[in-house]
Amino acid sequence: MTTTHMIVLPGDTIPASSLPISTNPNKALTLGPGLRHIPPNTIKATISGALTTDVRKNATWIEYNSGRYQPSPSDLVIAIIASSVSESYTCTLTPYAPPTTLPHLSFESATKKTRPVLPLQSLVYARILPFSRYTTPELTCIDPSTGKADGLGPLKGGMVFDISLAMARRLLAGAKGGVMVLEMLAEKLVFEVAVGRNGVIWVEGGNVTVTLKVGMAVQEVDRGGLGVEGQRALVEKVLRGL
Amino acid sequence: MPREAEISLNEREFIQQALRDHIRLDGRPFDTFRALELTFGNEYGVADVQLGNTRVVARISAEVTAPFPDRKFDGIFSISTEFSPMASPSFEVGRPSDAEVILSRILEKAIRRSGALDTESLCIIAGLKCFSLHADLHVIDHDGGLIDASCIAVIAALQHFRRPDVAVEGESATIFSIREREPIPLSILHHPICVTFSLYESGEIMLVDANLAEEQVREGEVVITMNKHGEVCQVAKYGGASVDALVILNCINVALEKVKGITKFIQSKLEEDAKKRDAGGLMAELSAENAR
Amino acid sequence: MAPQALLSHLHRADGSATYSEKGYTIIGSVNGPVEVQRRDELPEEAAIDVNVRPAAGIGSPNERHLETLIQATLRHVILVQNFPRTLIQVTLQVRSLPEEQSTGNGSAILKSSLMLLPHLLNTALLALLSASIPLSTTLTSTVVMILSSGKLLCSPSSADLVRAQSIQSVHVFAFSAQKSLLLAESQGEFDIDEWDEACELAEDICCKETGVAVDEMDVDGKPENLEGFLRDVVREKVEKEQMWKTAP
């Protein structure tokens, strides 16, 4: 169960009473985004937001929803191909951000001869590989354990819509995120989506109207902070307009 | 500074396809402006224009200087448009981008050279003293349509501005501060407004007030500046697409309607602001006329 | 009059804030971490680029001086080592000034750029919070004036300045939330005792007194505590972000 404790500002020391108390003493406390550990046992916030804890996972982090996307390992992202060098593509995740690389051979069953040739400014759905803060993050379009694409790869057609970072997290979190709008729309419409943690959703609905309606509906849910009932009302309105 | 971010291929194709189907992403008809918002500051001569997500602030300031020796009877008026990284990280201070050069050139032609401001009225003592008026344009948020928004901001700020009153006695001039004497509005001869048309499909599709994404996809643009009397101040065309003469005439007709609407909008906002400043009828009280 | 703030209102920048207090209005924006040019790149930490833009005219040495001061202060607040080889851009646009400063009727000391500095710092911090840039602490800043009568004026309004005839010195202080002094800039004639007194007063204004209720200070007619103000602004931001959790 996750619980939200209090609102913190950068530099605030997190009191021990606000930390999760794990039933298993061998399980180490996990610090998520927005917290840093100053040895020996001080935990300080680095960004402003709501302090959130999960007792079962023995984890605590700060929930916030503003600013630029920060790449983090194993995140799913939608990247734009900016240039191609000898063995890899250079991609951007957010405008003006430092580039990331995507090796030419990081696609399903790609060899030097069969690798996909992507035009500049096209979109790929990829996963971020582990990296250190001093190196350029690397992307991949295959699952390293199976070698299969698993839905990753070039995105053809469709349209991308900007959403907030929290909305992207919620969409990827499934039922916990409380976003039902896509399921509700899917009862009547046929479309394909890909959600990038970098605050982008790609929608392909076969024609302009459907793509646009689905994308706008997600943006509307994000902007208005709609609950389930609000989303239902929105979907009804969208479907009536078709 | 990083390079300007380019739009992805998927977005480009989608926007073009949508335009062919007569759909704009924000659901606007082709010949409609985004929501326009205009507010004035506490000081005279500050206009804050919001056109959709684009936001521009214009500020007029005045100082007393010597006029140019070859234009003894004219005051000085200049406009500066420097982009800051606030609107886009790719804007670098001191190194103007193409968009910045085009914007300053158009404003120069549209407002300064069209004689919108009566510079002779800024003269205090011929050849010795005059007002130097300066318009600073700050781009706060950039989502396309900078030329249109900037022109509205400068014109509104000029109308809102009040210059200090002066008294001339022979060779000496006294400048009165705002507290000493009610400042004087500028003498403005006409109100030019810019309307930008973006061209797609080799000129077959024409959009009014394109947003940033639409601007990145367009093949060319036509900027028309005119006043509400239908007098065209300047026409500029950028980009590769060729444009038929009839299309330009059609643009001018559409622009006239837009210009009339915008001029009226500015006027109503100015009146609203004047009413707010005149709370309690202070102006009536200061007037020397007696009610009989 | 309490300061007012508006957060994340610009859609293009990563973080933005408009801060108004006593006739000053400043719009701040933060972009970052973004790609840095080779010549500015730092191998171990993020470069910080501060841009101060005056209300009228183009930047002068005055603005460059302010930029240097702000840059040096922010470098100690932002956790720069988290983002090596990147750039954090801070742009501060002066939107409006109180009448005395814009018309230039005040004394030379009033026209000095020091009066602007605390407002710029407060705006920069709010914009950084809005951009969720990791910080080691928050920062608050204020200005204290010492009159020739020996009286101290804290962050005076334009009406206060008209009444106060002669100003001996102006001091700008910035404090972290842990009450450590981050910046002290002074102008005019003063001795060390006066400076101490000014510093103490500024600390009262900037930092939350533990144990003393903020409301009590309000009754005294003292200006509101800046640290408390910051917390209110952030609370509002977070509540807006978490709206979906409680919405029907």
Q: Running DSSP on this structure, what letter comes out for residue C45?
A: S
Domain end among A155, A178, A198: A155
Are residues A151 and A164 both part of a single domain?
no
Residues A100 and A123 in one domain: yes
Where exactly are the structural domains of chain C?
Answer: 4-241
Whether B8 and chain C come into contact, CB under 8 Å, resolves to no
Residue B199: alpha-carbon gap to chain centroid:
22
CA A45 to chain CA centroid, nearest Å: 22
Cα-trace Rg, chain B: 21
Confidence of residue C101 (pLDDT cuts 50, 70, 90): low
Report how many domains make up chain A: 3
Mean pLDDT of C94-101: 76
In this complex, which of B8, B17, B89 lies closest to A123 when CB atoms are compared? B8
Average of per-residue pLDDT values in chain A: 90
Percentage, residues of chain B above pLDDT 70: 94
Residue of chain C whose alpha carbon sits nearest to that of A165 = C241
* A28 part of a folded domain: yes
Residue A140 to residues A72, A132, C111: CA-CA distances in angstroms? 13, 16, 57
- Domain C4-241 = CATH 3.20.20.140: no
Low-confidence winner among A26-40, A67-81, A189-203, B185-199 (lowest mean pLDDT): A26-40
Say yes or no: A233 and A163 in one domain: yes
Is residue A165 in a domain? yes
pLDDT tens per residue, range B2-33: 566 789 999 999 999 999 999 999 999 999 99
Residue A123 lies in a domain: yes
From A122, A155, A188, the end of a domain falls on A155
> What are the residues of chain C with a beta carbon less than 8 Å away from any beta carbon of chain B?
10-13, 23, 25, 27, 29, 31, 34-35, 37, 49, 51, 53, 55-59, 89, 91, 93, 95-96, 99, 102-103, 105
A68 found inside a domain: no
**Per-residue confidence at C46, pLDDT binned at 50, 70, 90?**
very high
pLDDT confidence bin for C214, thresholds 50/70/90: very low
Q: At C182, is the secondary structure helix, strand, or coil?
A: strand
pLDDT band at C212; cut points 50, 70, 90: very low
Residue A166 shares a structural domain with residue A97: no
- At residue C219 the predicted structure's pLDDT band, cuts being 50, 70 and 90, is very low
Size of interface B-C (CB pairs under 8 A): 71
Q: How far is CA A74 from CA A60, A196, C203, C248, in A?
A: 19, 12, 45, 33
Band (pLDDT 50/70/90 cuts) for residue C33 is very high
ipTM of the prediction: 0.91
Identify the pLDDT of residue C107: 58
pLDDT tens, B238-271? 988 888 899 899 999 999 999 999 999 999 999 9
pLDDT at site A171: 94
- By CA distance, what is A4's nearest residue in C? C242
Check if C19 contacts A (Cβ < 8 Å). no
Asked whether residue A175 is domain-assigned, the answer is yes
Do A166 and A185 share a structural domain? Answer: yes
Residue span of the structural domain in which B277 resides: 9-291
Give the residue with greater pLDDT, A164 vs B287: A164
CB B90 to CB A96 under 8 A? yes
pLDDT in tens, C138-171: 999 999 988 888 888 887 777 777 776 678 888 9
Please give the single-letter amino acid code of residue C6: L
CATH code, domain carrying A38: 2.40.50.100
Residue B3: inside a domain, yes or no?
A: no
Q: Look at residue C181 in the predicted model and tell me its pLDDT.
A: 93
- Give pLDDT tens digits for B203-244: 889 999 999 999 999 999 999 999 999 999 999 999 888 888
> How many CB atoms are closer than 10 A to CB B53?
17
Domain end call among A155, A173, A190? A155
B237 beta partners = B222
Chain B within 8 Å of A13 (Cβ-Cβ)? Answer: no
Assigned domain for B4 exists = no
> Mean of the pLDDT values across residues B181-195?
93
Percent share of chain A, pLDDT over 90: 64
Q: Does C108 touch chain A (CB under 8 A)?
A: no
Q: Which DSSP string do the residues of A131-178 spell out, in sequence order? A: --TTS--BEESS-TTT---TT-EEE-SSEEEE--HHHHHHHHTGGGGT
Enter the DSSP assignment of B109: I
In a domain, A191, yes or no: yes
Question: What does pLDDT average to over chain B?
Answer: 89
* Structural domains of chain B, count: 1
Q: What is the mean pLDDT of residues A9-36?
A: 85
Say yes or no to pLDDT of C209 above 80: no
Q: What is the pLDDT of residue B155?
A: 96
Q: Are C58 and C64 in contact (CB under 8 A)?
A: no
pLDDT of residue C1: 58
**Mean pLDDT for the stretch of residues C122-130:** 95
Least Cα distance to B239 among B205, B194, B203 occurs for B203
Q: What pLDDT score does B282 carry?
A: 61
* CA B6/CA B98 separation, integer angstroms: 15
CATH of the domain at B161: 3.30.230.70
Which run of H or E residues covers position B102?
A: helix B98-107
**Contact call for C56 and B136, based on CB within 8 A:** yes
What pLDDT does residue C111 have? Answer: 63
Mean pLDDT of B128-153: 94
pLDDT at A153 (0 to 100):
93
The predicted model gives A49-59 an average pLDDT of 88
Q: Each residue of A161-211: pLDDT tens digit?
A: 999 999 999 999 888 888 999 999 999 999 999 999 999 999 999 999 999
How confident is the model at residue C220, as a pLDDT? 39
Residues of C in contact with B40 (CB under 8 A): none
pLDDT of residue A211: 95
Residues A150 and A163 in one domain: no
The secondary structure of residue C210, as a DSSP letter, is T
- pLDDT beyond 60 at C103: no
- Nearest residue of chain B to residue C25 (CA atoms): B41
Same domain, A190 and A141: no
8 A C-beta contact, residue C175 and residue C119:
no
Segment among B46-60, C13-27, C66-80, C89-103 with least mean pLDDT: C89-103
Q: Which pLDDT band, with edges at 50, 70 and 90, does C89 fall under?
A: very high
Q: Which pLDDT score, from 0 to 100, does residue A141 have?
A: 94
pLDDT at residue C105 tops 50:
no
Q: How confident is the model at residue C221 (pLDDT cuts 50, 70, 90)?
A: very low
Q: What is the predicted pLDDT for the residue at B6?
A: 82
Residue percentage of chain C with pLDDT more than 70: 86
pLDDT beyond 90 at C19: yes
Q: Which domain holds residue A50?
A: 2-63
Query: Of A65-74, A114-123, C123-132, C236-245, which range is least confident?
Result: C236-245
A149 and A165 assigned to the same domain: no
**DSSP per-residue codes, C83-121:** STT-EEEEEEEEEE--HHHHHT-S-HHHHSGGGTHHHHH
The answer to whether the beta carbons of residues A222 and A201 sit under 8 Å apart is no
The answer to whether B61 contacts C58, with C-beta atoms less than 8 Å apart, is: no
Is the distance from CB of C48 to CB of C88 less than 8 angstroms?
Answer: yes
A44, two tokens? 């300080």
Asked whether residue A219 falls in the same domain as residue A151, the answer is no
Q: Does B94 touch chain C (CB under 8 A)?
A: no
**CA dihedral of residues B262, B268, B269, B270 (deg, nearest 10):** 110
A150 with A183, same domain?
A: no
Report how many Cβ contacts below 8 Å link chain A to chain C: 115
Asked whether the beta carbons of C201 and C144 are under 8 A apart, the reply is yes
B227 in a domain, yes or no? Answer: yes
